[in-house]
């Protein structure tokens, strides 16, 4: 008897064995015509390839693990422009002419990174290329390059994606060389491709992160020209969860 799954594998189909056998069983019960069976098989294969492609591009984008937007607690922040966030998730800022930037601003632990990662996922699902990195990691990556040509080659990692997400501006101070590299990233993407930055700092205090950086004013000017700012006021989710966990432990401790 022919192993149907193995034969399909030999001609390049990637759909799972479970999905193929499920389709064949359904086709037999429903007395499906060969044409309809082939149509259903192609549909399963396309969905499987799309899922694998998205998974591969998500790994390449280095988004990491994160909560989906349907798990985001909109009631927790004291201030957040939900309508703006939902509009950004529709990716109008990526497809605008010229493309726009996004600044997610607020104290630590209020969901900035989660929102940024979900913007990245939405862009990947729409077929865009994405790169996610903390800003310190990206700059350290560029600073490690041992020559100008090597730096230029590595710079493409941050200048070529349709959407670049730079997380955690404001937590690690950067020297003037790092500031120059950051300026180069923003400058080369300006008017061409979108950038999302998360930070706990207003623009006026970015100088604390990049002391004595002559390019800082020009960097902010370029980034802020077409920028959607999402300010978040909230207590840290992590602190809230830690307090809730402690409250759960307290009654059981008393019972003992």
Q: pLDDT tens digit string along 55-82?
A: 888 888 999 999 999 999 999 999 999 9
Overall average pLDDT of the 160-173 stretch: 95
Question: Cα(189)–Cα(156) distance, rounded to whole angstroms?
Answer: 11
Say yes or no to pLDDT of 241 above 70.
Answer: no
Tens-place pLDDT, residues 20-56? 878 888 888 888 888 888 888 888 888 888 788 888 8
Task: Give pLDDT, residue 18.
Answer: 85
Question: How many whole angstroms separate alpha carbon 102 and alpha carbon 10?
Answer: 46
Distance CA 256, CA 247 (A): 15
- DSSP 8-state symbol, 79: B
């Amino acid at each position: 008897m022919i192993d149907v799954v193995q034969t399909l594998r030999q001609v390049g189909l990637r759909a799972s064995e479970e999905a193929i056998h499920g389709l064949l069983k359904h086709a037999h019960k429903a007395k499906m015509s060969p044409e309809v069976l082939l149509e259903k098989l192609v549909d399963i294969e396309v969905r499987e390839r799309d899922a694998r492609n998205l998974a591969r591009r998500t790994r390449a984008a280095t988004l990491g693990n994160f909560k989906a937007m349907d798990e985001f607690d909109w009631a927790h922040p004291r201030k957040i422009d939900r309508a703006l966030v939902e509009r950004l998730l529709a990716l109008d800022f990526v497809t605008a002419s010229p493309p726009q930037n996004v600044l997610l601003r607020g104290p630590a632990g209020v969901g900035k990174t989660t929102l940024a990662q979900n913007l990245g996922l939405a862009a990947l699902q729409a077929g865009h290329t994405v790169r996610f990195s903390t800003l310190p990691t990206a700059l350290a990556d560029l600073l490690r390059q041992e020559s100008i040509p090597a730096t230029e080659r590595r710079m493409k990692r941050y200048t070529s994606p349709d959407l670049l997400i730079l997380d955690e501006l404001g937590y690690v101070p950067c020297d003037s060389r790092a500031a120059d590299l950051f300026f180069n990233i923003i400058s080369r993407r300006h008017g061409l491709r979108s950038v999302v930055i998360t930070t706990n700092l207003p623009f006026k205090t970015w100088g604390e992160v990049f002391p004595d950086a002559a390019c800082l004013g020009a960097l902010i000017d370029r980034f802020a020209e077409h920028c959607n700012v999402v300010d978040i006021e909230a207590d840290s989710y992590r602190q809230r969860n830690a307090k809730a966990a402690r409250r759960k432990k307290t009654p059981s401790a008393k019972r003992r």
